[in-house]
């Protein structure tokens, strides 16, 4: 068998997708005009698939801070912090994150993926157990594979199933570490965190919450689902990313554990990769201040969420179970989803195409993400275009069509 024979099925299915039109996994933004608009295939296109929840990618204070950092500190750190040392900004950002969450310590990673990979794979040792939600992000699954703990999956968002699985481990020696997400990246639903915390307490387990899609989005302070659920003190490790609400790249973990910092010389995805460049550190530090000082962005985001989620629901679309900034339009199968995605792009609307195995329960999704910077007009155009495409390909039924004004 030749080296690439293992990819033949994938090569065939990708070719079939591309044969329909533009390649959903190879889209080129020819020109980015704003957080919500780019030129794609020569056409001005509304971006509804960015995770740029607060629209901070063009925030003037972040751009100015990044520019100044490049001018004064250069373009990159050219190595990891344990080898090349930290720039002052790395430590300042960690202190700012710890303050933001009211925690003792914070640790910054080069991506959110590496934050999950590093913390989850390191924190649970060979005798320990990682008990993860079945719909966990790929970075959580990869972390489990990289680490040495025994991995157990529980049914998505099912605290009773989590309880059952922990019960079966009663009397075993190792630590039990539960891993859940604040807002799930594909369907946009939230973890039942209060119930999960109750189970955690019952079994004396630890809890990691990945707030990648909920930081900046949920809570009066923007600290995420743990803040809304009122259980922050019960979460042992919060993991997050700079690539969504904070509009840049990078990841972090915050904790109150007194020995947390030892991870800096044990956690391989922290130790053996270059640290974030000064420009990113500076822009993220500025973005964190925006999250803290401009709650009106969250208010605007949620008004936009209501416009898009409720508007699509009224048209008859099947959506993810909970209203939130990830609005997942469910389509009957991958072929229909690819067609719909292509036609939407042709009408000047970009969303994410999400297909199995990246989606839960084999669903095919047009995954939209809402931004505080979307105008009402843009969102109405998105609803209109999605509805038109759904008629054309026969996804929406006639009674739903009659409802369209």
Ligand X SMILES: Cc1ncc(COP(=O)(O)O)c(C=O)c1O
Residue 181 touching ligand X (CB under 6 A): yes
- Tell the smallest beta-carbon distance from residue 252 to ligand X (Å): 10
Among residues 59, 56, 29, 54, which one has the least CA distance to residue 44? 29
185 binds ligand X (CB under 6 A): yes
My answer on whether omega of the bond before 312 falls inside 30° of 0, hence cis, is no
- Select from 59, 135, 210, 232 the one that contacts ligand X (CB under 6 A): 210
Bridge partners of residue 366, in order along the sequence: 329, 353
Counting contacts by CB under 6 A, is residue 324 touching ligand X?
A: no
Residue 53 CB, nearest distance to ligand X (Å)?
A: 12
Residue 209, H or E segment: strand 206-210
Q: By CB under 6 A, what part of segment 142-161 binds ligand X?
A: none
User: Is 57 among the residues that bind ligand X (CB under 6 A)?
Assistant: no
Question: CB 112 → ligand X: shortest distance, Å?
Answer: 3
- The minimum distance between CB 248 and ligand X, in angstroms, equals 9
Kindly tell me which residue out of 209, 212, 327, 329 binds ligand X, with binding defined by CB under 6 A. 212
HEC letters along 124-176: CCCCCEEEEECCCCHHHHHHHHHCCCEEEEECCCCHHHHHHHHHHCCCCCCCE
Identify the CA nearest to 125 among candidates 145, 142, 148.
148
Minimum CB separation of residue 369 from ligand X in Å reads 10
Taking the complex as a whole, the smallest distance from the CB of residue 111 to ligand X amounts, in Å, to 4
CB 282 within 8 A of CB 66: yes
- Of 56, 49, 64, 66, residue with least CA distance to 34: 56
d(CA 405, CA 396): 15
Q: Could you tell me how many residues of this chain bind ligand X (CB under 6 A)? A: 14
Stretch that binds ligand X, among 31-39, 105-113, 313-321, 327-335 (CB under 6 A): 105-113
Scanning 34-42, 71-79, 98-106, 209-217 for contacts with ligand X by CB under 6 A, the matching segment is 209-217
Q: Phi, psi at residue 161, to the nearest 5°?
A: -65, -40
Q: Which of residues 245-304 bind ligand X (CB under 6 A)?
A: 251
Near ligand X by CB under 6 A, which window of 111-119, 147-155, 311-319, 341-349?
111-119
Q: Which stretch binds ligand X (CB under 6 A): 39-47, 95-103, 112-120, 395-403?
A: 112-120
Please name the helix (run of DSSP H) or strand (run of DSSP E) that holds residue 364, with its range, or none: strand 364-369
> Segment contacting ligand X (CB under 6 A): 25-33, 109-117, 146-154, 171-179?
109-117
By CB under 6 A, name the one of 24, 35, 112, 219 that touches ligand X.
112
Nearer to ligand X, 50 or 139 (CB): 139
CA 312, 317, 319, 321 torsion-angle sign: positive
Angle separating helix axes 193-203 and 159-168, nearest 10 degrees: 10
Q: Is 116 in the site for ligand X (CB under 6 A)?
A: yes
- Least Å distance between CB 133 and ligand X? 10
Residue carrying structure tokens 């100015």:
64
Residues contributing to the site for ligand X (CB under 6 A) = 111-113, 116, 137, 139, 181, 185, 210, 212-213, 241, 243, 251
């Amino acid at each position: 068998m030749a080296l690439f024979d293992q990819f033949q099925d994938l090569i065939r299915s990708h070719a079939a997708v591309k044969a329909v039109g533009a390649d959903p996994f190879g889209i080129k933004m020819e020109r980015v005009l704003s957080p919500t608009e780019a030129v794609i295939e020569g056409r001005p296109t509304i971006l509804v698939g960015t995770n740029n929840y607060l629209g901070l990618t063009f925030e003037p204070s972040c751009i100015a801070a990044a520019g100044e950092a490049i001018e004064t500190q250069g373009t990159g750190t050219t190595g990891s912090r344990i080898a090349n040392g930290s720039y002052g900004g790395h430590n300042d950002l960690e202190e700012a994150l710890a303050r933001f969450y009211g925690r003792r310590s914070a640790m910054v990673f080069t991506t959110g993926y590496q934050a999950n990979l590093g913390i989850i794979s390191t924190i649970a040792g060979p005798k320990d157990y990682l008990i993860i939600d079945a719909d966990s992000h790929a970075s959580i699954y990869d972390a489990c594979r990289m680490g040495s703990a025994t991995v157990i999956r529980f049914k998505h968002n099912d605290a009773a199933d989590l309880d059952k699985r922990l019960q079966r481990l009663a009397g075993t020696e190792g630590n039990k570490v539960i891993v859940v997400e604040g807002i799930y990246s594909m369907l946009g639903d939230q973890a039942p965190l209060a119930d999960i915390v109750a189970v955690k307490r019952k079994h004396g387990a630890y809890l990691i919450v990945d707030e990648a899609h909920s930081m900046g989005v949920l809570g009066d302070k923007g600290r995420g689902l743990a803040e809304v659920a009122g259980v922050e003190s019960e979460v042992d490790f919060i993991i997050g990313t700079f690539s969504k609400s904070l509009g840049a790249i990078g990841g972090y973990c915050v904790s109150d554990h007194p020995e947390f910092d030892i991870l800096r010389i044990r956690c391989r995805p922290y130790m053996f990769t270059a640290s974030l460049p000064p420009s990113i550190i500076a822009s993220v530090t500025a973005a964190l201040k925006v999250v803290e000082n401009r709650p009106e962005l969250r208010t605007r985001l949620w008004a936009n969420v209501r416009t898009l989620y409720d508007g699509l629901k009224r048209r008859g679309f099947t959506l993810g179970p909970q209203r939130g900034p990830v609005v997942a339009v469910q389509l009957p199968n991958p072929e229909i989803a690819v067609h719909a995605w292509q036609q939407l792009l042709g009408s000047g609307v970009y969303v994410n195409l999400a297909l199995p195995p990246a989606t839960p329960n084999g669903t095919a999704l047009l995954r939209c993400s809402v931004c505080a910077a979307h105008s009402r007009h843009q969102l109405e155009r998105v609803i209109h275009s999605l509805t038109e495409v759904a008629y054309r390909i026969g996804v929406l039924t006639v009674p739903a069509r009659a409802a369209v004004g």
